[in-house]
Amino acid sequence: MKPARTRLAVEWPTFAMFVLCYGSWALAVFTLPEVSLAAAVALAALAIALFSSLQHEVVHGHPFANPRANAVLAFPALTLVIPFGRFRDTHLAHHRDSDLTDPYDDPESNYLDPLRWAVLPRWVRSVLLFNNTLIGRIAIGPLVGQIGYLLNEVRAHRSGDHRVLSSWLWHLPSVGLVMAAVAAGPMPLWAYVAAVYLGLGLIKIRTFLEHRAHDAVRARTAIVEDCGPLAWLFLNNNLHVVHHAHPEVPWYRLPALYRSRRERFLAMNDHYVYRGYGAVIRRYLFDRKDPVPHPLMNRPG
């Protein structure tokens, strides 16, 4: 299933989205707070969520053919909390589809080893169960995810992965650049931190059901057939099985690729499909989609 088109030397739609993202962010940080702080926080959150989606594009080699140019374009750490280098390394590791959802081998898994789950304190279990509802993932998911991410970073560093420390050291000037810009404008620091949290919460809507535990590797990745504002904010990564099958394809080509081979993609992922984010919200806003312990681990036989 190789896409017919070759990539452009410069993918202008992606570059234009960066311009829109940074422009919206600047408007939210430097101008809008003097009119409405609430509106400024909301716009900054949208820009930060879009920036996270654009960083994902950069990881996969867009919009330039030159990786250094892409890294420079995504250098300012608008989200503050995750070094780009570490996001790149862990996300590319996540693309080993045979490891998807494995609590040890998939860096983006939301499952736990059932043996580990069994010894957790009751209050931790309650937090993680709430985190497995959509409202919980939006409300506390950024915090729960960041704590788990930092713990994994410490473990990776202690195990001898030297990329961890170097990525965090590179992260400091990118955060400093953003913080200096915020300090120079009228938006209070607490308001920017709130915008970051809200932006990351929006991204959690996408990641909430991207993958499921399934015996068949090909059936672990979801499709959400949405073409509305959230799909735009997520740069069509809601068509997630298409992205995993063709990670080199830029965001603006994913819908046409999906439409041209819809039945094949649905057969590939065993019809793990939702008709839109409205359906996802109605079904899972207050209900858990998955258990926290991985349902396929430590099974008899």
Backbone angles phi, psi at 112, to 5 degrees: -120, 155
Structural element, H or E, at residue 273? strand 273-274
Residue 4 has pLDDT above 50, yes or no: no
pLDDT, position 7: 56
Average pLDDT over residues 49-63: 97
> What is the distance, to the nearest Å, from the Cα of residue 12 to the centroid of all Cα atoms in its chain?
22
Residue 192 has pLDDT above 90, yes or no: yes
Average pLDDT over residues 2-27: 85
Find the DSSP H helices in 132-188.
Answer: 134-139, 141-158, 162-184
Domain map of the chain by residue range? 12-208
Residue 1 has pLDDT above 50, yes or no: no
The mean of the pLDDT values for the chain is 95
Residue 90 has pLDDT above 80, yes or no: yes
Burial category of 295 from C-beta neighbours within 10 Å (exposed 0-12, middle 13-18, buried 19 and up): middle
Residue 301 has pLDDT above 70, yes or no: no
Q: Which tens digit of pLDDT belongs to each residue from 253-276?
A: 999 999 999 999 999 999 999 999
Q: Where residue 6 falls among pLDDT bands split at 50, 70, 90?
A: low
Share of the chain above pLDDT 70, in %: 96
Share of the chain above pLDDT 90, in %: 95
Residue 245 has pLDDT above 60, yes or no: yes
Average pLDDT over residues 32-50: 98
pLDDT, position 9: 80
Distance in angstroms (rounded) separating the CA atoms of residues 239 and 1: 16
Average pLDDT over residues 180-184: 97
Residue 2 has pLDDT above 60, yes or no: no
Q: Which tens digit of pLDDT belongs to each residue from 117-168?
A: 999 999 999 999 999 999 999 999 999 999 999 999 999 999 999 999 999 9
pLDDT, position 298: 74
Backbone angles phi, psi at 223, to 5 degrees: -130, 130
CA angle, residues 17, 141, 49, in degrees to nearest 5: 10
Residue 299 has pLDDT above 90, yes or no: no
Secondary structure of 175-235 as H, E, C letters = HHHHHHHHHHCCCCHHHHHHHHHHHHHHHHHHHCCCECCCCCHHHCECEECCCCHHHHHCC
Residue 228 has pLDDT above 90, yes or no: yes
CB crowding 264-289: b at 16 or more within 10 Å, else e: ebbebbeebbbebbeebeeebeeeee
